[in-house]
Structure 1
Amino acid sequence: MAPKKFENMLMEINGFGLFQIFVVTLLAIPRIFLSCHLLLNNFIAALPPHRCDISNLHNGLFRNVTVEQELIVSTPVRGDGTRKPCEMFAEPQFGLLANGSNITDLQTMPCQNGWIYDNSTFTSTIATEWDLVCDRKSLANTSTTIFFMGVMVGSIILGYLSDKYGRKNTLFVASVMAVVFGFSSALANSFILFVVLRFLTGVGLAGVPNNTMVLSIEWVDIGHRALISVIGGLSWCAGLMLLPAVAFLTRDWRTLVMAVTAPLGLTLLTFWWIPESARWLLVNGEVERAQFYLDRCAKFNKRPKLSSDLILDTLSDMKIMEEQSKGYTYLDLIKTPKMRKLTVLTGILWFGVGFTYYGLSFNILDFGLNLYVTHFVFAAIEVPFRMMTYWFLGAVGRRRCQAGSLLLTGICIAANMFVPTGLWYVRAAVAIFGKGLAGFSFTAVYLYTAELYPTILRQRGMGYTSFLCRVGVSVAPLILLLGDVWPALPHIIFCFGVFLSGLLCLLLPETLNAKLPETIDDIEKPRSVNK
């Protein structure tokens, strides 16, 4: 088969030498700042403590009244003694100054003159700038959903462009889009313009992870592909740990958006050294360019150059496989019984993985710690979990690792529903462990899915599952809004989703030590195991 011939050719010039290390390092940089953008809304859309603006009381009879007294006569209190953020008394209640109590049946109305925000954590967020509070509170979470809808659309469009025009060219276009629309969103003067620009930023960012990962994998030998996935996961974690530090130093949402966008602009300068995929170039008949990059790889790795005859021989076989592949469409994912079962189960699996991981990531204030500290710890805990992933995958098996990590994540979410809020350290520990398991699951699902789909449909299968993953990510912020209806409801929904995907995962075949399927027939018949 063509892939084997290309792998043999790649091995002759060293499938993981200095050239590959250099390329993988360059491609890891944009992934660091990608993760900053994908969880940026945790900071720029944060809702600080707030109350009704009662500054209009500073006139007439109220000029000698203290601020505390103004609050007592103007705003009702909740059961925990704090001021209600969205209500004020219809008339000043001076009687409350005398008895020091708050009567619950006094007539109230929504805030009439805007809000006063606590700026001790953030000097500004999109919530404070455009008053996304009270009856407009859902708009902050909606902006997150709209952003991920852009990522979802971008994954489809840029995935097509990557196959048609090349990985490097598409990565460059995606990075330019992310930089241009990222900076533009920081300058938006209205909420509607902001969400439109964030949507377009998401479209551009969608091309960064797929193309950097594909370029990395297509330049290394088979034995190091698992390592590439680990490096990708660790660069993701590095960005997540960097984000709270940058947010702490900036505090202003516009400055923060520009701060995490600027490094993506700097990565554009590295495109001179990033090679196009030689595999893609050969499939598309660009032999001279492919030979140029292969010769560069050989020189960098101190290996002799490949002969033109070997390259042309590999090209011939790759063109045959490409022509065979063109006869398949996304409909082939559901035409045959076992293929249809595989497609449905992996779709649910990816939806559950994305839904749960981002649900935990967006809900970090629910566990009783400082926002910056919680975000950093949630990111740091993923590092050992992601590093352990491939050892467990080899020792325990793909299916049991994938299902087990999801089910354990669900147990952690369920457990926190019963831990009292006063035991913040227990809630935090359980949540952090659950986040690590979710990261483990996210790392495992890429390798497991790639091994499940046949070569002839692998790229389409990964595109389909990635799409459903992003659907889950887009839904997660909206599920969190249901906490206003019943605080436990989001946890129940996340538990149901993760348990369902974990249990259904057990219906998938094990791929440890199994030969990779090449065709649909390999899926429909029993799979053999390598001896």
Structure 2
Amino acid sequence: MKFDNILEEIGGFGPFQFAIIVLLCAPRIVLPCHYLLNNFISALPPHRCDISTLGDGGLFRNLTQEQRLTVSLPVQEDGYPKSCEMFAAPQFQLLDNGSSGADPPTVKCQSGWVYDNSTFTSTLATEWDLVCDRKSLTQTTGSIFFFGVMIGAITFGYLCDKYGRKITLLASYVMATVFGFASSFANSYFMFAVLRFLTGFGLTGIGVNSLVLGIEWVDPGHRSFIGVIGSLSWSVGNMLLAGLAFLVNDWRTLIMIATAPLGLAVLTWWWIPESARWLLAHGKVEKAQVYLDKCAKFNKRPQMSFKTKLKALSNMERQDKSYTYLHLIKTPKMRRLTLLTGIVWFGVALTYYGISLNISGFGLNIYLTHFIYAAIEVPAKLVIYSFLNIFGRKKCQVGTLLLTGICIAINIFLPKDLWHARAGVAILGKGLSEAAFTAIFLYTTELYPTVVRQNALGYNNFMSRLGVSVAPLILLLEDVRPVLPQIIICSVAIGAGLAALLLPETLNVTLPETIEDVESPRCVNGYMNATMCNY
């Protein structure tokens, strides 16, 4: 007797599971609104040195604004004033002949900057003058946020397996809501960075909890559906972010609007059920019975007494010990599984964000470009949903990663003047990388046993965010050699695809409940595929 047999009797996919999907997907829409928020709140609008104080001495009294700019600011090759320099002294000769002969001496901006507010009324850069020598701080906020996500992945992975999915999900909702709103009121860059770290920390629990909680309540045939629906909610939020950023040009207001839906999530949390799988694995038979009865009633199935079966199942699965991250590497097959999934998650994340940050635009404004990049992920996810149930998880994971690497390799050799072809290949590569991301969430959830599933997702999310953090650093290597970032990202994608080849298939197999299920040399009660039992 396995949990999936009981779930089949009360309805493995019905109104009860659909309600869970709705309750869990709504908060997931908030995730991309924060994960990609830095694209807008850290935007660097065109700017130049402020020369308004130079007119105090009367030197500029009879000059137009254009003439004042000419004699005060050096220009770039495109004819626009330089952003971070001004002449040490006014160059009035430029008004007569347009040339100053030898390059006149310049100094850094002395009185601050003037910003073009036609696109953004306020960003982090304009708020705290994060330009020129401090320009890197705008991107540092993104790194700090994802560092919080990394630490949160490890922390919530442990807490979810120890204290349960539901209570930890509430803690995530509350933390993300409180610190998200607080960051919009930060009065210094340091305070903002700290609050963004804590926001990222809290948001991680929403991602890993909602996916696992949904999958643990459905039968094997619908697990891929749950995974893809959760992934589609990311795309919806990603597209929604483009619209919100277009309508709201102030960074503080944008953060508040992006965080607001989490308040509703806190209110709807009361209707979310705890994972019956987790309850049984921890000996909480009575509570598991309550939720299973609710599931049967909601799905209009006869409410049966599973108490004897549940006790037997709980005794078989219950372990008189607390599971930690060390259990991911204590036994041989778990150690091998942990190593391989870590490599795949790192490769998937680095490839996805490497392409996303380096893909050429369509010559459109930032909002429309962001929307297009988000929209092209939707067909990729719908296609991978069909393929996951036809070809299996393993083939889809390997195929999407290898094809992504091939797309990057093709663009390395395509001439620069064939920009139409390069753009098409880049868009295809981005879609494939998103399909790989969609597959890995579901695949990993099915690979690990219930008792350490959240720990495993926490670890793999940590490896994923490590890949996210490394991606921008790799793109900086373009200054060393233009093609070097593409070579590295291509190699990582192909390497991760080859690592996925060594993982077992999980299509339509029973989820492992304990570490012994994974380590067993035989199929568990005849339900698991032989490849699942012998990797």
Q: TM-score, normalised by structure 2?
A: 0.88
Residues 401-450 of structure 1: CA deviation (Å, up to 9, x unaligned): 32332243344445556778887665544433222111101011223334
The amino acid across from 2:462 in the alignment is F
TM-superposed CA distance for 1:340, in Å, is: 4.6
1:41 paired with 2:38, answer yes
User: Does the C-alpha gap of structure 1 residues 140 and 367 become closer, same or farther in structure 2, counting only changes over 3 Å?
Assistant: farther
Whether the 8 Å CA contact 2:349–2:467 is kept in 1: the answer is yes
Stretch deviating more after TM superposition (284-293 or 436-445): 284-293
What is residue 520 of structure 1 aligned with on the other side? Answer: 519
Secondary structure in structure 2 of the residue aligned to 1:65: coil
TM-superposed CA distance for 1:393, in Å, is: 3.4
Identify the match of residue 378 of structure 1 among 356, 373, 378.
373
1:294 paired with 2:315, answer no
User: Does the C-alpha gap of structure 1 residues 316 and 385 become closer, same or farther in structure 2, counting only changes over 3 Å?
Assistant: same
C-alpha separation in 2, matches of 1:442 and 1:253? 29
What is the number of residues matched between the two proteins? 523
User: Does the C-alpha gap of structure 1 residues 108 and 366 become closer, same or farther in structure 2, counting only changes over 3 Å?
Assistant: farther
TM-superposed CA distance for 1:96, in Å, is: 1.9
C-alpha separation in 2, matches of 1:465 and 1:293? 29
User: Does the C-alpha gap of structure 1 residues 113 and 442 become closer, same or farther in structure 2, counting only changes over 3 Å?
Assistant: same
What is residue 237 of structure 1 aligned with on the other side? Answer: 235
C-alpha separation in 2, matches of 1:102 and 1:348? 58
The amino acid across from 2:209 in the alignment is N
C-alpha separation in 2, matches of 1:97 and 1:395? 72
C-alpha separation in 2, matches of 1:404 and 1:266? 39
Whether the 8 Å CA contact 2:346–2:464 is kept in 1: the answer is yes
C-alpha separation in 2, matches of 1:46 and 1:510? 43
What is residue 501 of structure 1 aligned with on the other side? Answer: 496
Unaligned runs of 5+ in 2: none
User: Does the C-alpha gap of structure 1 residues 275 and 457 become closer, same or farther in structure 2, counting only changes over 3 Å?
Assistant: closer
1:202 paired with 2:170, answer no
Whether the 8 Å CA contact 1:368–1:421 is kept in 2: the answer is no
Alignment of 1:178-189 (within 5 A): 178-189=176-187
What is residue 93 of structure 2 aligned with on the other side? Answer: 95
User: Does the C-alpha gap of structure 1 residues 335 and 74 become closer, same or farther in structure 2, counting only changes over 3 Å?
Assistant: farther
TM-superposed CA distance for 1:77, in Å, is: 2.1
Secondary structure in structure 2 of the residue aligned to 1:116: strand
1:27 paired with 2:24, answer yes
What is residue 348 of structure 2 aligned with on the other side? Answer: 353
Residues 224-250 of structure 1: CA deviation (Å, up to 9, x unaligned): 111000110111111001001011111
Secondary structure in structure 2 of the residue aligned to 1:109: strand
Identify the match of residue 252 of structure 2 among 248, 251, 254.
254
User: Does the C-alpha gap of structure 1 residues 300 and 503 become closer, same or farther in structure 2, counting only changes over 3 Å?
Assistant: closer
What is residue 329 of structure 2 aligned with on the other side? Answer: 333
What is residue 8 of structure 1 aligned with on the other side? Answer: 5
What is residue 267 of structure 2 aligned with on the other side? Answer: 269
What is residue 435 of structure 2 aligned with on the other side? Answer: 440
Secondary structure in structure 2 of the residue aligned to 1:88: strand
C-alpha separation in 2, matches of 1:346 and 1:100? 63
Whether the 8 Å CA contact 1:360–1:435 is kept in 2: the answer is yes
TM-superposed CA distance for 1:516, in Å, is: 7.0
Secondary structure in structure 1 of the residue aligned to 2:111: coil
C-alpha separation in 2, matches of 1:327 and 1:178? 26
Whether the 8 Å CA contact 1:364–1:375 is kept in 2: the answer is no
The amino acid across from 1:303 in the alignment is R
Whether the 8 Å CA contact 1:363–1:480 is kept in 2: the answer is yes
C-alpha separation in 2, matches of 1:501 and 1:103? 57
Stretch deviating more after TM superposition (11-20 or 235-244): 11-20
C-alpha separation in 2, matches of 1:487 and 1:136? 25
Alignment of 1:288-327 (within 5 A): 288-307=286-305, 310-323=306-319
TM-superposed CA distance for 1:325, in Å, is: 7.8
User: Does the C-alpha gap of structure 1 residues 411 and 69 become closer, same or farther in structure 2, counting only changes over 3 Å?
Assistant: farther
TM-superposed CA distance for 1:251, in Å, is: 0.6
What is residue 117 of structure 2 aligned with on the other side? Answer: 119
Whether the 8 Å CA contact 2:157–2:454 is kept in 1: the answer is no
Whether the 8 Å CA contact 2:161–2:455 is kept in 1: the answer is no
Whether the 8 Å CA contact 1:405–1:441 is kept in 2: the answer is yes
TM-superposed CA distance for 1:378, in Å, is: 0.8
C-alpha separation in 2, matches of 1:213 and 1:167? 10
Identify the match of residue 211 of structure 2 among 204, 213, 218.
213
C-alpha separation in 2, matches of 1:114 and 1:96? 24
The amino acid across from 1:239 in the alignment is G
Unaligned runs of 5+ in 1: none
What is residue 145 of structure 1 aligned with on the other side? Answer: 143
What is residue 385 of structure 2 aligned with on the other side? Answer: 390
C-alpha separation in 1, matches of 2:109 and 2:323? 62
CA-atom RMSD, angstroms?
Answer: 3.0
Residues 37-89 of structure 1: CA deviation (Å, up to 9, x unaligned): 11111111111111222222223111222222222222222223332212222
Whether the 8 Å CA contact 1:325–1:456 is kept in 2: the answer is no
C-alpha separation in 1, matches of 2:499 and 2:130? 39
Stretch deviating more after TM superposition (411-420 or 94-103): 411-420
TM-superposed CA distance for 1:514, in Å, is: 7.7
The amino acid across from 2:317 in the alignment is M
User: Does the C-alpha gap of structure 1 residues 7 and 385 become closer, same or farther in structure 2, counting only changes over 3 Å?
Assistant: same
C-alpha separation in 1, matches of 2:286 and 2:122? 54
User: Does the C-alpha gap of structure 1 residues 232 and 515 become closer, same or farther in structure 2, counting only changes over 3 Å?
Assistant: closer
Whether the 8 Å CA contact 2:183–2:192 is kept in 1: the answer is yes
C-alpha separation in 2, matches of 1:178 and 1:285? 31
C-alpha separation in 2, matches of 1:510 and 1:485? 41
TM-superposed CA distance for 1:185, in Å, is: 0.2
Alignment of 1:411-426 (within 5 A): 411-413=406-408
Identify the match of residue 398 of structure 2 among 396, 403, 412.
403
TM-superposed CA distance for 1:292, in Å, is: 2.3
C-alpha separation in 2, matches of 1:168 and 1:319? 23
C-alpha separation in 2, matches of 1:379 and 1:511? 29
TM-superposed CA distance for 1:172, in Å, is: 0.9
**Percent of aligned pairs sharing the same letter:** 60
Whether the 8 Å CA contact 1:144–1:477 is kept in 2: the answer is no
TM-superposed CA distance for 1:382, in Å, is: 0.7
C-alpha separation in 2, matches of 1:242 and 1:249? 11
What is residue 449 of structure 1 aligned with on the other side? Answer: 444
TM-superposed CA distance for 1:219, in Å, is: 1.5
User: Does the C-alpha gap of structure 1 residues 459 and 181 become closer, same or farther in structure 2, counting only changes over 3 Å?
Assistant: closer
Secondary structure in structure 1 of the residue aligned to 2:29: helix
User: Does the C-alpha gap of structure 1 residues 486 and 83 become closer, same or farther in structure 2, counting only changes over 3 Å?
Assistant: farther
Identify the match of residue 169 of structure 2 among 168, 171, 175.
171
Whether the 8 Å CA contact 1:378–1:436 is kept in 2: the answer is no
